[in-house]
Amino acid sequence: MESIEDRQRAIEAEFNAFDDWTDKYERIIDWGKEIPGIPEERRSDEWLIRGCQSRVWMIASRNPDGTVHLEADSDAIITKGLAGMMVHIFDGLPPAEVAQAPLWVLDRVGLSSHLSPTRANGLRAMVDQIRRYGQALALQA
Amino acid sequence: MTPPPYDIDAIRAQFPILGRQVHGKPLVYLDSAASAQKPEQVISAQADYLRTRHANVHRGVHALSQEATDAFEAARERVRRHLNAASTDEILFTSGATAAINLVAWSWGRTYLGPGDVVVVTRMEHHANIVPWQMVVAERGARLVPVDVLPDGTVDEEDWARALALEPRMVAFTHVSNVLGTINPAKRWIAEAQAVGARVLVDGCQAVPHLQVDVRDLGADFYVFSAHKIYGPTGLGVLYGRREWLEAMPPFLGGGEMIASVSFERGTTYAGLPHKFEAGTPHISGAIATAAALDWMEYWGVEAIASHERRLAEMARAGLASIPGLRILGTAPEKAGVVSFLLEGAHPYDVGVLLDAQGVAVRTGLHCAEPLMEHFGVPGTVRASFAAYNTPEEVDVLLAAVHRAARMLS
């Protein structure tokens, strides 16, 4: 399995290939299209992430091998892309890694500073929630 | 004075900020309805004052204080002349248009509104012309009646007539809608509202940048605008009020500058107009820079600026209309230079982010007009607004950027 380090390095390389932020957003939107999303009936408030301007749902569960299974969706396309990017980074990792592994790529590619404050807060809220899921699933192990 | 030929290159050269880039692209600033950029003349008027003439006003006998006072009062006269008010006593400087509306809502409202009284607004108001009235009617046991807006973005005249039949004490409406650009028939409405005994406050924030406003011709009781939307500084609003009403109204804020005499034993007496309503040290440099902004607008001609903006807005509207899934909000025949639109299935915020990435600054969201968005059943819009310094080439950049955003978000 690809480590979270490898995944982040791959994302960094992809981002650095684009000069233009529109192209970077295009890539972000594609991450949203690469995840299956969450059907309407499973989008309960329990999985809603607080702190986002647009609505974001993230569901975490355990794969048979004990790793974390992440699903995400949003009613805004760029937000869904960001959520997809998070799924791309964290999905399929052991719970302890999801809870603790260093996440450096957002700063490195300039996303943390480029996003508007509300969106940056939203992204932080997603990461915080993913970390909490990791902690909870690690405790169940 | 006849304005010179409209020289867009000369105009742009006067705005230092227009030379900068965002995200590595030339800035295309289409958010002037939120706040206009400042020409060198305004920037230097404010800076020169701070460099050479600053002192507190209406105090000290020393030379600087006199010079500052003269410049501040000359700015008041400049605003009076622009609005064609009868006297500088009718021109109050506030911290912004919001403060100006609050001043009237509280000073006038607490004096004249009682239980059961009606205040009328429209559903296209900015929050600043809704919330102060909601607050004061709640305190006075009065009620706020909003007049409906039709699908084309004009006010429903039948509902307007129904509201006036309630014999409101106050009617407050926007001269030009900040979201839709609709120009309301202010002069006729003022006459109709006054005919049923109402006082009328007009929110002129989106009008003064685009129309030559004459408060006496309009017959307004109160008229407010903000300097930063007419190429002037932030932190300065203007409240025009007819002398007879201002004289009868109690002060809103207490403090220095607004008193004649203060005594614990004999009580306090207030200064005359306009100082009665200007407690504390005013925004002196802001008032002076506002006068410079009016000079700047008058030099190029308010009419000439407005027709330039209308042409750009028309180009934008025509170009946007050809984008599949794009819906333009507001099709009133009389419109100022703004275009509000939505892309089907796309969050306005996403559109705004993608336009920003392409160097285009637009406003996205509710535009401080949540009731209007609710009325149209939309989660917000993208608004491009045009000013004196925008160009047809910038409209092309906008259109290309929206096309690309539409493709990315479909």
User: Identity (one letter) of the amino acid at A102?
Assistant: P
CA-based nearest distance A117→chain B, Å: 12
Report pLDDT digits (tens) over A27-53: 999 999 999 989 999 998 888 887 666
Reported confidence tier of residue A120, pLDDT bands at 50, 70, 90: confident
Residues of B with Cβ-Cβ distance to A53 under 8 angstroms: 349
Q: Which residues of B38-63 are buried (b: 16+ CB within 10 A; e: fewer)?
A: bbebbbebbebbeeebbebbbeeeee
For residues B389 and B309, the answer to whether their CB atoms sit within 8 Å is: no
Three-state DSSP state, A80: helix
Going from the C-alpha of B339 to that of each of A20, B177, B193, B330, B359, the distances in angstroms are: 27, 11, 29, 8, 18
The pLDDT confidence band at residue A57, using thresholds 50, 70 and 90, is very high
Question: What is the spatial distance between Cα B50 and Cα B68, in angstroms, rounded to a whole number?
Answer: 10
Chain B: residue nearest A28 by CA? Answer: B408
Q: What is the pTM for the complete model shown?
A: 0.91
Interatomic CA distance for residues B345 and A68, integer angstroms: 31
Model pLDDT, residue B1: 66
Query: Would you state the pLDDT for residue B74?
Result: 98
Chain A nearest C-alpha distance from B134 (Å): 26
Partner A, chain B 54-93, Cβ-Cβ below 8 Å: none
Mean pLDDT by 10 residues, chain B (410 residues): 90 97 94 97 98 91 94 98 98 98 98 98 97 98 97 96 98 96 96 98 98 98 98 98 98 93 94 96 98 98 96 96 93 87 90 94 87 87 96 98 94
Query: According to the model, what pLDDT value does residue A51 have?
Result: 65
Residues of A with CB under 8 A from a CB of B: 19-22, 24-26, 29, 53-54, 75-79, 116, 119
B349 neighbourhood in chain A, CB within 8 Å: 53-54, 76, 78, 119
Please report the DSSP string for B341-365 in residue order.
EEETTS-HHHHHHHHHHTTEE-EEE
Supply the pLDDT for residue B377.
87
Mean of the pLDDT values across residues A1-16? 93
Residue B317 CA to residue B397 CA, distance in Å, equals: 14
| Number of CB atoms found within 10 A of residue A46's CB | 8
DSSP string, B69-94: HHHHHHHHHHHHHHHT-S-GGGEEEE
∠ Cα B116 B120 B125 (to 5°): 140
